Amino acid sequence: MVATLERPVQHAQSEPRIAMTPVIEPAAVVEHVSKVFVQRPLFWRGQTKTVQAVADVSFTVGRNEIFGILGANGSGKSTLIRMLSTLLIPDSGRVEVFGYDVRRDEAQVKRLINRVSVEASFFKKLSPGENLAYALRLYGRSGSAVRDETYAVLDRLGIARDKVGEPLEQLSRGMQQKVAIARALLTSPVLLLLDEPTTGLDPRSKLDVQRFVRELREGHDATILLCTHDMAEAEALCDRVAIVEKGKLAALDTVDGLKRTFAPTIGHPEPSLEDIFIHLTGRSLEDDEEASDE
């Protein structure tokens, strides 16, 4: 028997707008999760500060769903991704991936997931091909068939054959990010965590990655959790989106559902996802990017 989870509808204006959506066979469950970071002063001078990165957040990601977590820098979205990937342990609440608890069953969770972050780590002196061959051997994959598959994936991501043998440090940051995405996709994860995966990519490369994410979901029964502040990307890819602000869940629904809900309040019959984001958070992404550059 397959369990079905439902989310309650909350109508109060001060509460997050969460749509009731049946989720059959959940891939990930985040239940009343909180995380606090303690910032200690250098040399014990000054005051110790606590930062509430995530505050009592709950959501469920369905199997084979592309689920977006949207938020500006410092909103808590990357902290959520890191807890799902076992890199951080929640202070309270429950996080499960396909029924495995991220604290109790860390090894099993790691076998089911792969994560692509905006700052991917590599052996920079090695080529893309060598980096991918090394990573795949850790998953027990090698041989000519795997090599052919690697070339095919890199080609679909727009990486030319003549770049596959060059040292990674000589390639652009955008090209390195594509290699990171290829590495994640080649391991065939059941749950793929994408943390700002297309940052630094040109528009055509973004479209290549987005197309390949769809192919991964459709062809490999993968569940995708996309963490981004790119509203156009979220609207193009995601079945549902959660908007987080200051560590709290501000809204959760399909993009169309959010538009229907907030159109009367915003005063526009067809608000964009960015209009809704600004309405809920009080800031634009341009402001956020300027602040992060200072």
pLDDT tier for residue 241 given thresholds of 50, 70 and 90 = very high
Tell me, what CATH number does 156's domain have? Answer: 3.40.50.300
> Which pLDDT score, from 0 to 100, does residue 90 have?
95
Q: What domain range includes position 262?
A: 4-293
Counting other chains too, the contacts that 51-57 makes at CB distance below 8 Å and 24 or more residues apart are 52/246, 52/247, 53/79, 53/247, 54/79, 54/80, 54/83, 54/90, 54/247, 55/246, 55/247, 55/248, 56/32, 56/93, 56/248, 57/30, 57/32, 57/33, 57/93, 57/244, 57/247, 57/248, 57/249
pLDDT tier for residue 137 given thresholds of 50, 70 and 90 = confident
What is the distance between the alpha carbons of residues 127 and 13, in angstroms, rounded to a whole number?
A: 53
pTM for this model (two decimals): 0.80
> Which pLDDT score, from 0 to 100, does residue 119 have?
63
DSSP labels, the chain: ---EE-PPP---TTS-EE----EESEEEEEEEEEEEEEEPPGGG-S--EEEEEEEEEEEEEETT-EEEEE--TTSSHHHHHHHHTTSS--SEEEEEETTEETTTTHHHHHHHEEEE-SS----TTS-HHHHHHHHHHHTT--SHHHHHHHHHHHHHTT--HHHHTS-GGGS-HHHHHHHHHHHHHHT--SEEEEESTTTT--HHHHHHHHHHHHHHHHHH--EEEEEES-HHHHHHH-SEEEEEETTEEEEEE-HHHHHHHHHHHHT-SS--HHHHHHHHHS--HHHHHHHHH-
Q: How many CB atoms lie within 10 A of CB 14?
A: 5
Average pLDDT over residues 64-76: 91
Kindly report which listed range (23-37, 64-78, 117-131) carries the lowest average pLDDT score: 117-131
* Token digits of residue 207: 């479209």
pLDDT tier for residue 122 given thresholds of 50, 70 and 90 = confident
- At 90-100, the pLDDT tens digits run 999 999 999 99
Tell me how many domains the chain contains: 1
pLDDT tier for residue 60 given thresholds of 50, 70 and 90 = very high
Kindly report which listed range (9-18, 153-162, 200-209, 218-227) carries the lowest average pLDDT score: 9-18
What's the CA angle centered on 5, arms 3 and 11, to 5 degrees?
165
Q: Is the pLDDT of residue 247 over 90?
A: yes
> Which pLDDT score, from 0 to 100, does residue 198 have?
79
- At 165-183, the pLDDT tens digits run 888 888 877 777 788 888 8
pLDDT tier for residue 9 given thresholds of 50, 70 and 90 = very low
> Which pLDDT score, from 0 to 100, does residue 196 have?
83
Q: Is the pLDDT of residue 4 over 80?
A: no
> Which pLDDT score, from 0 to 100, does residue 95 have?
96
Q: Is the pLDDT of residue 81 over 70?
A: yes
> Which pLDDT score, from 0 to 100, does residue 15 have?
61
